[in-house]
Structure 1
Amino acid sequence: GVQLTHSNIRSNIEAINQVFQVNKKDVVMGILPFFHSFGYTGTLWLPLLSGMGAVYHNNPLDAKSIGKLIHKNKATLLMTTPTFLNSYTRRCEKHQLASLRFIVVGAEKLKKEIADAFKEKFDITPMEGYGCTELSPIVALNFPDYVSEGVHQKAYKPGTIGLPLPGIAIKVINQNTMKEASADEDGLLYIKGPNVMKGYLNKEELTKEVIENGWYKTGDIANVDEDGFIKITGRLSRFSKIGGEMVPHIKIEQTIHSILNSSDQVCVVTSIPDDKKGEKLAVLCLQDVDIASLVDQLKESDLPNLWVPDVRCFFKVEAIPLLGSGKLDLGKIKKRALEESKKVS
């Protein structure tokens, strides 16, 4: 378990307050579970400590009820995930969400198609952010540009996770040289600040592995541009080492969904053991996906041949395994792929 102190959570709330400048007229629409740190900090303690209002619904996928609650209570702040956001685009009416002034999206990457569809329907831009439980949880965030008396401070850049919150330091380390990366150069993302956890409960050695001199090793691959905006480009746990080459699962998924012209998560890439190369790619996909056609188009795409999964390693499932937060359940996905592979071996 992750140990978060009162100071950790309070520091994150104070940073959020500085960015959004919430007041007692604001109302947060709470739809995230409290067992998830995003919901715990952002929708439980933020309103309690800031004095703003709050209204809750226990099922984040019940879009119709959530739309009604936002409209009835004139909610101004919504914290959600791309999966849930996509549901609201489809099932909520435009007037129901008219009171919202901030929509914070995290827990997984916000696809351009999902953001654009929401913006087109409701005329409000979802702001992508980034964080994790070990960091209390919010680290970086896009928010509206500041414009006043001829001053224009850029605070929003699509495709990035935004700028670090006040009080939080970041650095990107080149994995080969172990030196700090230059602008736009990929490397391992480290975070330092009052939001960094105390440690893992009763796991001192694991804590030492991820916290070095106060810097938390996120396990995410990222780069920072010249304006200070952070872009997540991958995750160490979402790479496979095949034939000595690191193969990114997320890039393959993006290509798959682009071919299928789908903003929903209809396929997910993982890896399973392989006697010859150590591991090989495997894909779980929903029942209506034409696997043969998809593989043919992947071979014609700009992906290297090594990155194209074997047609025999595509497995159809009723649903893609998700966590309660709406994030992919990577453990169950890998386990299911392994089980399916044994059935056909």
Structure 2
Amino acid sequence: MTLLEGYGATETSPVISVNSHEYNRPGSTGKVIPGVKVRIENFETGEDCKVNEVGRILVKGEIVMKGYYDDSELTKEAITDGWYNTGDMGYFDEEGYLWHAGRFKRFVKIGGEMVSLVKVENTLEKLLPMGVSCCVVDVHDEKRGSSIIATVTIEVNKSELLKKMGEELPNIALPKHFIVVRDLPMMSSGKIDFRSVTKIVQEILTNPDKQNS
């Protein structure tokens, strides 16, 4: 049996690209299927990226959903002029194979540098007791662009955690606040609902009396 890699999303019904027996480049997500358009957009300029240049993956075509049920705000965030923002990073190689390079939605720019929220989250998770959950999100910061906020399901020693996290991460990637929540909101898929976590964090930061950070 030959396993062939592909790429897609629920919002794209769901296949965007796929390798085939005729055209197969292991490690890539294959070639874009007929009837689908894919753009690799430069993060800064919004222009099309060059070959082998990593950018934001945008998708257009009949396969793209019309919108999220009863959520016009989220739909506007996801679709612009028919182009669906996958939230992923990727690039095309010289032969037109699409390569996935990670989740852009989980990267933030702080002080001009890109920081991986996944890496921050994984570093924190390793330092927490077994069974304790955490989620790292970003909020707008007037001075630095974004600030990193960590939510955890138990009280923690902030100073001790920051010291240990600093052994693996640069200072710019360390959480500015630790916020304790009883439970982390989850989606029906079983994954953490980052959008809801961000809303909780913003509410607590706006009303400090609701939570000591």
What is the TM-score when the length of structure 1 is the normalising length? 0.46
Match of 1:314 among 172, 178, 186: 178
Tell whether the 8 Å contact from 2:152 to 2:180 is kept in structure 1 after alignment.
yes
Tell whether the 8 Å contact from 1:189 to 1:217 is kept in structure 2 after alignment.
yes
Deviations 1:98-157, CA, capped at 9 Å, x for gaps: xxx99xxxxxxxxxxxxxxxxxxxxxx8x7743142x2233245x7x84xxxxx853652
Tell whether the 8 Å contact from 1:131 to 1:140 is kept in structure 2 after alignment.
no
Q: Is 1:296–2:163 an aligned residue pair?
A: yes
The residue that corresponds to 1:154 in the other structure is: 24
- Quickly say closer, same or farther: Cα 1:344–1:128, change in 2 above 3 A: farther
Unaligned 5+ residue runs, structure 2?
A: none
**Counterpart-to-counterpart distance in 2, 1:267 and 1:130:** 27
1:178 is displaced (CA, Å) by 3.8
- Quickly say closer, same or farther: Cα 1:275–1:197, change in 2 above 3 A: closer
Q: Is 1:282–2:149 an aligned residue pair?
A: yes
SS in 1 for 2:89: strand
What is the TM-score when the length of structure 2 is the normalising length? 0.68
SS in 2 for 1:332: helix
- Quickly say closer, same or farther: Cα 1:244–1:339, change in 2 above 3 A: same
**Counterpart-to-counterpart distance in 2, 1:261 and 1:340:** 22
- Normalized per residue, the structure richer in strand is 2
Tell whether the 8 Å contact from 1:188 to 1:219 is kept in structure 2 after alignment.
yes
- Quickly say closer, same or farther: Cα 1:209–1:308, change in 2 above 3 A: closer
Paired letter, 2:16: V
Q: Is 1:230–2:108 an aligned residue pair?
A: no
**Counterpart-to-counterpart distance in 2, 1:260 and 1:163:** 38
Match of 1:268 among 135, 144, 153: 135
Match of 1:136 among 1, 4, 13: 13
Deviations 1:250-271, CA, capped at 9 Å, x for gaps: 34224444x4499x99321112
- Quickly say closer, same or farther: Cα 1:307–1:318, change in 2 above 3 A: same
Match of 1:192 among 60, 63, 67: 60
SS in 1 for 2:166: helix
The percent identity for this pair of structures is: 28
Match of 2:171 among 293, 301, 305: 305
State the superposition RMSD in angstroms. 4.2
Unaligned 5+ residue runs, structure 1?
A: 1-100, 103-124, 147-151
**Counterpart-to-counterpart distance in 1, 2:17 and 2:132:** 24
Instruction: Select the structure of larger CA radius of gyration.
Output: 1
Match of 1:173 among 30, 33, 41: 41
Tell whether the 8 Å contact from 1:240 to 1:248 is kept in structure 2 after alignment.
yes
Tell whether the 8 Å contact from 2:134 to 2:152 is kept in structure 1 after alignment.
yes
1:306 is displaced (CA, Å) by 1.0
Aligned pair count reads 203
Paired letter, 1:169: K
Paired letter, 1:283: A
Tell whether the 8 Å contact from 2:23 to 2:30 is kept in structure 1 after alignment.
no
**Counterpart-to-counterpart distance in 1, 2:7 and 2:156:** 31
- Normalized per residue, the structure richer in helix is 1
